[in-house]
Structure formats: structure tokens, C-alpha cells
Chain A
Amino acid sequence: MNKIENNKAWFLVLPVFILVAFSAIIPLMTVVNYSVQDVFDTNTRYFVGTEWFKAILNDAALQSALMKQFMFSFTTLSIEIPLGIGIALLMPKRGMAASLCLVLIALPLLIPLNVVGTIWQIFTRSDIGLMGWSLREMGVAYNISRNPVDAWATIILMDVWHWTPLIALLCYSGLRSIPEAYYQAARIDRASRWAIFRYIQLPKLTNVLIIGILLRFMDSFMIYAEPFVLTGGGPGSSTTFLSQALTTMAIGQFDVGPAAAFSIIYFLIILAVSWVFYTTIMNMQKEK
């Protein structure tokens, strides 16, 4: 049967389009305008063409911030996704225990970002923080303000603690939507635990995992408040991620021209990576 296409329905999207234009498209256009000028105020500005883009793309500090950002997103995603799935599989399916587990697991998600930073900042201090103190008593030389490896490990641990629950909750809801009959059929076929996971649970989780991976990638790629509070980007600039470098440039130094060029490059990278993720996963589903 041929489906009749009626594109007139698109006109119903018009109100949303106007709203998005006001809140996102017009500001983005302004950013593009800023990126080609040296702006002092609205009356004093000079057209500089593509100079800012050239400067930003060749800035060694920003190149390293970009590399660090990719490393950070890749590491946290590759820990959080399997761990989240694992937690969801282990969670009790019904009764009081299930509710209790859900509440406990959702707790980190309810904490504001800068508070998460503060909690971990205190947690890792060797004088009053439980983790910092314990490590010192065990004789481990651990100092996030001196040792870049410690700082990195702590930031990754913090992100995993904060965001794995999101993946776990999404996967839990995905698992709950699988009808019992599938498991019964698997038991009749004497399917192994791994076969059940691979051929029943994982395919049913694809949809929630797409959303989970996209959300976590975009969020981790834009991370700001937590490392800013925990390490302030240090030691040196070892944990200065892109958004912090951008904020320092735009607000700290008020270099709106270079900051605008930087924002556009940042935006294009997020757009490209998210699109690739989305298309690959959507295509994997279509082929099934």
C-alpha cells in the first residue's frame, strides 16, 4: 500500500520553529557575525575575515584541550555504558527492593553539577575527605592538585559516579518492557545466559542506548562545572576541557571574536559526531 504524503502538516511545526529561531537560531547567527570581527562595542568593530578561525585552529592550547575532550568523552562513555547495562541487569525486577534500588541509584542524578564538584573536592582532600584521608593512611601518594594522573582519574570517577545511573535507569526501563514470553521461549530452547543477553535483551535495549549514548556524549563533551570546581582545570592545564577554555576566553578575557570562532568550531564538531552516531545506529536498526 502506498502511503500518501502530506507535507502541509509541516506548517503545524511553525510555532516551535519561531520559538527555536528566537532562542537558538538568531543568537547563533550573532555568534557567526562576531566570529569575523574584532568587536569592542556595537559602534567600534573591525572586519577581520577568517583571521580568528586561523588563530584558533593553530592554537596549541586549544588543540590539546580538544584532544583531552575526546579522550575524556571516550573514556567515560566506554566505562558508563557497559557498567550501566550491568547494573540494570542486576537490579531486582519487582517489589520493595526494586523501588529502593531505583531511588538509591537515581540519587546522584538529583545533585546539581557544581555541588557534585564540591562533594568530590572535599571527598578527595587528604585532611578532611574520606577518600583522600584513607588513601593517605594506606600510604598512597594521591594529590589531585599536583598529580595530573590523579586529577584525571578523579574526574573520570566522578563522572562515572554521577552519570552511570542515567544509563542504568534507561536500560532498566528498556529491560522491563521485554515480555516474559521471550524469556520462557529462551528457557525452552535452553539458551545460555549470554545468548539471552545477546539475542533478546541487547536488541531490545538498542533504542534506549541510542538516546543514552547521544546524551552522554553531548553532555560529557560540554562538561564544565564539575572539573571547574574539582580541579579548576589544573594541575597546570591538564584537565582544562574545551568549555572551560572557551569561558576563560569569552568572559574572562572578553575576546568575543576568537571565542565566537571557537564556539562555531566546537558546535560543528558536536554536530558532526552526533550525526555520525545517530545515523550509524539508526541504520543498524533498519538493516535488522
Chain B
Amino acid sequence: MSWMVWTTPTAGFFIGIGLILASMSIWQYVSPSIERKGFLPIKTTRGDRLFIGLLTSAFIHLGIVGFTDLSILVATAISAIWMAILMRWG
């Protein structure tokens, strides 16, 4: 494992992603998601919204880290709020 040069923050990040995917799979198994139309211009399932949310969160992080002096935690907080809105009403 040493060749993968792990750090605590990146390990935490991947554990987080893993947990999200695992819990989404269990949620899907317990109550399958139905495609619906929210404020997004397309019909989406729960998994689609998660993907859109993760991808846009990545760009929110890049934008804040790259072009402002704000802490990365601000980006994470904004992403979390955005993710919640997207999953509920997207």
C-alpha cells in the first residue's frame, strides 16, 4: 500500500465516497428510485442527482480553492447545502 502514498485527508475522502455509494446502493435496494422531474431540466433518478451533485461539488471546490482565499471548508459547506437541495428538489 505504501506505493499509493496515502494521506489521512485523502483516505477520509475515499472512505466518504465509498460510504455514500454503499448507502445509496442499500437505499436503492430497500426502496428503488423512480425517475422524476424537479428543477433540473431533465428527468433524473436518485443516482443521477448524486452524480450531478458530486461533479458540481468538485467544480465548486476547484473554483473556491483556485480563485478565492476562502478556506476549503467553505467550499465543502456550500457543496453540502447544494447537494441537499439537489437530492430533495432536483
Q: Which residues of A contact B (CB under 8 A)?
A: 5, 7, 26, 29-30, 32-34, 36-37, 39, 42, 45, 47, 49-50, 53-54, 56-58, 265, 268, 271-272, 275, 279, 283
User: In the assembly, what is the distance between CA of A147 and CA of B51, in Å?
Assistant: 44
A26 vs B3: C-alpha distance in the bound complex, in angstroms? 11
Neighbouring B residues of A39 by C-beta, 8 Å: 5
Interface of A is mostly: helix
The residue from A7, A33, A36 contacting B4, defined by CB atoms under 8 A apart: A33
Measured in the bound complex, the distance between the Cα atoms of B1 and A42 in whole Å is 11
Known contacts A53-B65, A57-B66, A45 near B10 by CB under 8 Å: no
Least CB distance from A138 to B in Å reads: 48
Q: Which residues of B contact A58 (CB under 8 A)?
A: 66-67
Known: A33-B6, A57-B66. 20 other contacts (CB 8 A): A5-B32, A7-B29, A29-B4, A29-B10, A29-B14, A30-B3, A30-B4, A30-B5, A36-B7, A36-B9, A36-B10, A42-B5, A45-B5, A49-B72, A58-B66, A268-B55, A268-B58, A271-B55, A275-B51, A279-B42
Contact between A57 and B28 (Cβ–Cβ < 8 Å)?
no
17 contacts between A and B (CB under 8 A): A7-B28, A29-B14, A30-B3, A33-B7, A33-B10, A36-B7, A36-B9, A36-B10, A42-B2, A42-B3, A45-B5, A49-B9, A53-B65, A57-B62, A58-B67, A268-B55, A268-B58
Q: Is the CB of A26 within 8 A of B62?
A: no
Could you say which of A5, A37, A272, A279 contacts B59, with CB atoms under 8 Å apart? A272
Task: Return B15 CB to nearest CB of chain A, in Å.
Answer: 11
Interface residues of B (CB under 8 A from A): 2-7, 9-10, 13-14, 28-29, 32, 42, 51, 55, 58-59, 62, 65-67, 72
Which residue of A has the minimal Cβ distance to B10?
A: A33
Closest-by-CB residue of A relative to B9 is A36
Shortest distance between the CB of B77 and any CB in chain A (Å): 15
What is the CA–CA distance of A29 and B7 in the complex, to the nearest angstrom?
A: 11
Known: A5-B32, A57-B65. A26 touches B5 (CB 8 A): no
